[in-house]
Amino acid sequence: MKREGKPDWENVPSSLRAKIEACIGEPVRAADIVWGGFGPSATFVLTGESGARYFCKGTHPGQTPQGHAALLRERYNYEHFPEIEAFGPRYIGGVDDGDWHMAVLDYVPRAQNVPPWVGDLADRTIALVARFHKASPERAARKLTPVQDLVGFNPFRVTEGWVSLAKIPEHQAQFAALFVDEDAAHLWLTANGEPLAGMEARAETIGGPRSWLHLDIRSDNLVFAADGSVKLVDWPIFAYGPSLLDIAFFLPSLAGEGGPACAESLRLYEREAGKAFDPEDVALAAVTVAGFFAARAGAPEIPVLPRLRWVQKLQLFPALDWICQVLGLSPLPVPRPF
């Protein structure tokens, strides 16, 4: 599978490298590209003269405007909510030079990779998410952007979910093409698109506990460290809203990578959180998540993000299975290999 284009350390301006060294307090003797995630950001593991290692990530002149904005939002989140350090790596500082904007953090090496989700890795991750939601400080409700007001990521923007699939023939064809039997997929969408769009329109009424939200929990944003801890990384769409929505966006990814099915993992989250969600809220969250991926997974590829559609498909099919189970809908045909 094609990788995103990332700059080498030699491409980083010498003036910016000097600022990074000032930020970490020592010269950099080695820098290795870190592969992972789905964007073309600059990502390095830096080794300082002392042997200490740091993670440096950021944007460069070849980055999209959305990528620049995401990095600056992430730095803002680290700087204004230092409490997230309890759930991720220590933030050291931000460095800028022209069109380059970098964030420097402690490097936490991965002691175990996922997938595969073997042993208790899924259980430990779900427990981490529950602890994260419980730790939401009181000021998060005042200081964080409500999820419905996010720019660039708004799962409540119904014109980009089931509504578009119910109304726009081009989007219907893109959805149907994701399945081996396109005619059967189109018939399923014709029968269910309008009712699902109606539910999606009520997504902002999802109830239950509200907290800070990561909103991008996936295996590439999790680090299983040597000390047994699990770290959450990548915080550009940090927001405030229903905790259920955060875990609901993670569950299809977990299932798509061979982990437990969505409904099973949600029961584990409820046990860890000490809260059982209302079935209507679960249905609304599942429909919202499935609609978000259904309206995107079949769209044309984005050259600078060559794996984005792949990961959206990975999350889409378990999300569709989930809504069929929750709502008692007829199953969809077999997905086309991707």
Q: Which of 322, 316, 329, 26 is nearest to 161 (CA)?
A: 316
Residue 36 φ/ψ region, left for φ over 0, alpha for ψ in the -120 to 50 degree band, beta for the rest: left
**CA 145 distance to own-chain centroid:** 17
Residue 85 in tokens: 């350090």
DSSP annotation of 177 reads T
Q: Which of 250, 248, 249, 220 is nearest to 234 (CA)?
A: 220
What's the pTM value of the predicted model, to 2 decimals?
Answer: 0.94
DSSP calls for 276-303? PPPHHHHHHHHHHHHHHHHTTTTSPPBT
Residuewise pLDDT in 10s, the chain (338 residues): 667 778 999 999 999 999 999 999 999 999 999 987 777 889 999 999 999 999 999 999 988 888 889 999 999 999 999 999 999 999 999 999 999 999 999 999 999 999 999 999 999 999 999 999 999 999 999 999 999 998 778 887 767 899 999 999 999 999 999 999 999 999 999 999 999 999 999 999 999 999 999 999 999 999 999 999 999 999 999 999 999 999 999 999 999 999 999 999 999 999 999 999 999 999 999 999 999 999 999 999 988 888 999 999 999 999 999 999 999 999 999 999 99
Residue 200 φ/ψ region, left for φ over 0, alpha for ψ in the -120 to 50 degree band, beta for the rest: alpha
